[in-house]
Structure 1
């Protein structure tokens, strides 16, 4: 039997999603809770590997088990009691053994949050950046971004991938109020460090320290060393993972926290 888990987490205290030799990860924490509750070793596969300090409002993972689980609201509640307060399971539901949390996903949607004012209640959850940014210019850069598919210049140099092509569905900046600025980006896949490097480069554009022509030259160079530095992890959120309808059919009737 294969099950999907829908969960969210605050990534501040974790060394990313994936199991790490040098720190606690979301994956290993989730596996420990499932193993304790079910009574047999459980290993999970996530839809993607968020970096250290990155948050997820919606993340999916799957695990396999020999016998069907007796899924009830109480079962999920008990798992959440085992998990630390910064990880929450929202639903568990059965899927086909061909469905895969990572490879069946058809889209990922990220947001990046920048605040101009220091906020004691948002520490670790937004990027505090004081300079006023030219949002109109940054949105012009987004239109350039949408014309391309190869984003090697925004990928970490040691990324272990076979290609650097991603299909972007949208990319835009939104000023929520005088304090909060949010970057929205959705694609079929993302490269390691891609969103944070795009944000870091666009912040240069927003300060009018980089021209739009230079931005396009960076994309065409396919060279990470010419792009801006990556924005801090704490402002980045995975907010939605998309799957074909047939994968999610059991989610609506499944048990939730």
Structure 2
């Protein structure tokens, strides 16, 4: 039987989601704990591969297990996981459901703090220079399309295409006075959101114009865009799937 597990994690202490040689990863920790609880080797597949230091407020993984599970697994797993990883919900899925390939959209938020804040220094980018947010939002509208986003992709990766369908991209201010960049797409390239944020901040600082930002998108060259924003301000916040894949949620 195939199960989906909804998770959240603080990525500060991990070298990204995916298993890495000689580095601790979120995937490694979850596989280890699940394997011990279920008393067999469990391999998991995640909805995405967050980079080192990136967080997830909502991440889905899938795994296979031949026996029927229930909500007790969540309680047992949470008692066994470190304090920076949490399991929230367990679903019985269609046997062919795939946490990565069946996702129809993913959403990220990037948090930027305009003041020095001792309580968010490791969860948001502390940035106290004045930004033209209206200009940044006008530029962000150019991202809303299906197209090649190679200008914001990490170099030398194994992806076959840089085509992404971006359906939302905008800045807002939250109740804590932080600037939050929200972006949704069917898929994301390695480092894509952080590269976009870094380039939009350059627009907000007046370093580049909206017209130049449009040219950067069209050039499809990573060297054309700005520097990547720090990893600790980035959060995976949502992943969507076709409802028909879900057979049952264990409450």
TM tier relative to shorter chain: over 0.9
- Provide the residue aligned with 1:83 in structure 2: 81
CA distance in 1, matches of 2:56, 2:193: 14
Matched, 1:7 2:17: no
How far did 1:248 drift?
A: 3.0
Please, what TM-score do these two structures have when normalized by structure 2? Answer: 0.97
**Contact 1:153–1:218, Cα closer than 8 Å, also in 2:** yes
How far did 1:94 drift?
A: 1.2
How far did 1:177 drift?
A: 5.3
How far did 1:211 drift?
A: 0.6
- List runs of 5+ in structure 2 lacking aligned partners: none
- Provide the residue aligned with 1:245 in structure 2: 243
CA distance in 2, matches of 1:120, 1:141: 31
**Contact 2:94–2:246, Cα closer than 8 Å, also in 1:** no
After superposition, the Cα gap between the structure-2 partners of 1:218 and 1:109, relative to the gap in structure 1 and judged at 3 Å, is same
Q: After alignment, is 112-121 or 133-142 more displaced?
A: 112-121
Partner SS, residue 21 of structure 1: coil
Q: After alignment, is 134-143 or 148-157 more displaced?
A: 148-157
- Provide the residue aligned with 2:112 in structure 1: 114
After superposition, the Cα gap between the structure-2 partners of 1:247 and 1:148, relative to the gap in structure 1 and judged at 3 Å, is closer
Matched, 1:204 2:202: yes
Matched, 1:125 2:123: yes
- Provide the residue aligned with 1:184 in structure 2: 182
**Contact 2:91–2:247, Cα closer than 8 Å, also in 1:** no
**Contact 2:145–2:165, Cα closer than 8 Å, also in 1:** no
Matched, 1:159 2:157: yes
**Contact 2:104–2:186, Cα closer than 8 Å, also in 1:** yes
- Provide the residue aligned with 2:40 in structure 1: 40
How far did 1:144 drift?
A: 1.6
How far did 1:87 drift?
A: 0.3
**Contact 1:9–1:57, Cα closer than 8 Å, also in 2:** yes
How far did 1:145 drift?
A: 1.7
Matched, 1:221 2:186: no
CA distance in 2, matches of 1:70, 1:234: 34
Please, what TM-score do these two structures have when normalized by structure 1? Answer: 0.94
How far did 1:147 drift?
A: 4.4
After superposition, the Cα gap between the structure-2 partners of 1:155 and 1:75, relative to the gap in structure 1 and judged at 3 Å, is same
- Provide the residue aligned with 1:21 in structure 2: 21
Partner SS, residue 12 of structure 1: helix
Count of residue correspondences: 251
**Contact 1:159–1:191, Cα closer than 8 Å, also in 2:** no
